[in-house]
Chains A and B, each alone.
Chain A
């Protein structure tokens, strides 16, 4: 019996080796905050990225038929030390050739400077939006398919101004993301002639936000801008503001827009507005079609995650190598014109074109256009809450 077992194991082992030999394997890390303040968004983001990897694996054309394996790790979104350790593990023990992530700006910056730079690994973040990352030292290794919040601040200002709102109170979650977004919004809003009556930070994970809301209410304003997280303090602030009657309508940037917002508040926040990165390019519809019922394709940053993973693999193909040092220079090339436009579901075609020496312009699910230091130019979906549902107003 023992012998039989040993023989079976040996056979199985040989089988795997043979398989791996036939089609070499490329591992790509997926570092997202599976626990922490945006844990309700990350499962869809990871699924988006893994969808792209499955598509490429199935096409059997990456670097002559390599299989792409995703390796997940938890960035926690807030704990830089935990995120750095997770990234370290991916690179040193799993041997990933690129990182799809991280998600939140603070941990993304930490992983970039402590792990990715030191090991020379490419990172493409789908959701880190802090303006600070535009100028971070990256040796050409860091890209993002999400736009910088400097752009979001301008878009927010446009939305509010068109609604005729000139005076707002502003609260932000006390971290890189919240502070960066709040600052860029305040600058843009004041430049456009609006007034920010108060810009107050809130800490995540507290039981009670009535004191914070008291201060916000006292400062006053036509609307409360909540630059926070829906699974954390952001919702607490909105709850306390509604309960005390301090504000009836809100404006929500990307971290707040998710199904959880509808669940928590329903029609209590009717008339509120918001925006998150999104596009009406045909790519978004095709992405939704591909996803089907597997997960929510309109969940924030899920399409960006698909694109981030796709860009890593396309760049590898363009360079003819899975080594980050070789393919890092190709990311901008495959993302931007000239070349044939590539939409979600067409990765096999793109691989084909690239291996024949052609050029592609990856459009993807979010109309990717990388500018400046390798970040998305930024398309936003403007939403409003009507009858308890988040509905699209327009894209800008």
Chain B
């Protein structure tokens, strides 16, 4: 019995909790990508760097707050700076839209051209972020580090395995949940949300019924800015902030959006968790868990690891390819690409 409990705790500690938090971060990122795809009709490669930009602004304000002695007690100060980060990121995205994307929209440019344009924006943002905050690791997390720390859990339960639940992980899951609920409420219940969905479903009909396209585009960018900043800050809090890692996040984020079905918000969330759980479970070594569960003579000698952790990103790639081959519209019936 104790062995089973130990196995469950080990699995929760090393697979379920990290994968859930990672999945929530990917889901928020993928929601942004999918909204842009659904409404503006292109794959926004600059999304990872938008996240890095939003997180950077939040970090700068967090440092300012910290230097003034403002804090949120057990919660990270970054939460307080988050709204400011969202405002600045909204400003940046609206400015980019005004300067860059609007031109191509008026030209009725093909989606592939917009994709390339977004890559250009990505490089500019890349440089901008590095220019302001530098390419190095930045620490900005403060407050209580753990909701449950491994040592306390061991003492409390008397089990051999510890269970750690970081504040940043708890926060990620809660905030992601709130964001998703708010987004769905907005899309399904408000007039603006409905007009966005109409615009996404059929642009011509939406225009005929008097929906102002510029307004829909603006609201989309605002929502994307909020989602990207929240995702970026949560990822930075949970892991660490380094501009390059946000660039690398593009692959799993796109994989999540495509696997779930591009253009489908529900798919983005599902896809995020599918990718996160596959990445973590496929690269996890199950030796410990199996040792607890199996009778002694069947205990594994090897690590029981399907793939070395070096190949984490390969997992997202593989899933992406498989889904595109067998179900091009994604698991949740999005648009095919």
Contacts and interface: CB of A to CB of B under 8 A. Distances in A.
Q: Do A and B come from one complex?
A: yes
A382 to B, nearest CB: 27
B260 interface: no
Contacts of B244: 205
B239 A207 contact: yes
A205 B243 CA distance: 11
B162 A198 contact: no
A4 interface: no
Contact of A217 (B163, B283, B288): B288
Interface string A309-337: 00000000000000000000000000000
Interface in B271-303: 279-280, 283-289, 303
A245 B162 contact: yes
Contacts of B22: 208
B154 interface: yes
A383 B284 CA distance: 33
A218 B242 contact: no
B15 A214 contact: yes
Contact of B163 (A200, A212, A245): A245
Given A218-B14, A218-B289, A203 B310 contact: yes
Contact of B284 (A201, A205, A215, A245): A215
A244 B14 contact: yes
Interface string B148-190: 0111011000000111101000000000000000000000000
Interface string A206-236: 1110111111011110000000000000001
B41 interface: no
A330 B242 CA distance: 47
Residues of B in contact with A, size category: 35 or more
Given A210-B18, A212-B309, A220 B288 contact: yes
Nearest to A245: B150
Nearest to B168: A243
Interface residues of A, number: 25
B71 interface: no
B14 A210 contact: yes
B14 A214 contact: yes
B245 interface: yes
B309 A200 contact: yes
A285 B305 CA distance: 49
Nearest to A206: B245
A202 B164 CA distance: 22
A201 B289 contact: no
A208 to B, nearest CB: 4
A255 B238 CA distance: 26
Secondary structure of the A contact surface, majority rule: mixed
Contacts of A220: 287-288
Interface in B232-287: 235, 238-242, 244-245, 279-280, 283-287
Interface in A283-310: none
Most chain A CB within a 10 A radius of its CB, from B162, B288, B309 = B309
B192 interface: no
B312 interface: yes
B310 A201 contact: yes
B239 A214 contact: no
Nearest to A242: B150
Given A207-B245, A211-B280, A218-B289, A245 B154 contact: yes
A114 B235 CA distance: 42
Nearest to B279: A211
Contacts of B149: 245
B232 to A, nearest CB: 12
Contact of B303 (A202, A213, A218): A218
A200 B14 contact: no
Contacts of B303: 198, 215, 218-219
Contacts of A236: 240
A207 B242 contact: yes
Contact of A207 (B154, B240, B280, B283): B240
Contact of A243 (B10, B150, B153, B284): B150
A198 B304 CA distance: 12
Greatest chain A CB density within 10 A among B146, B149, B285 is at B285
A217 B14 contact: yes
A211 B164 contact: no
A218 B150 contact: no
A244 B242 contact: no
Contacts of B166: 243
B13 to A, nearest CB: 6
Interface of A: 174, 198, 200-203, 205-208, 210-215, 217-220, 236, 243-246
Given A207-B240, A244-B162, A246-B150, 11 more contacts: A198-B285, A198-B303, A202-B309, A206-B245, A207-B241, A215-B305, A217-B10, A217-B288, A218-B285, A243-B166, A245-B153
Q: 10 smallest A-B Cβ distances: which pairs?
A: A245-B150, A245-B162, A207-B239, A218-B285, A207-B245, A214-B14, A218-B288, A215-B285, A208-B239, A211-B309
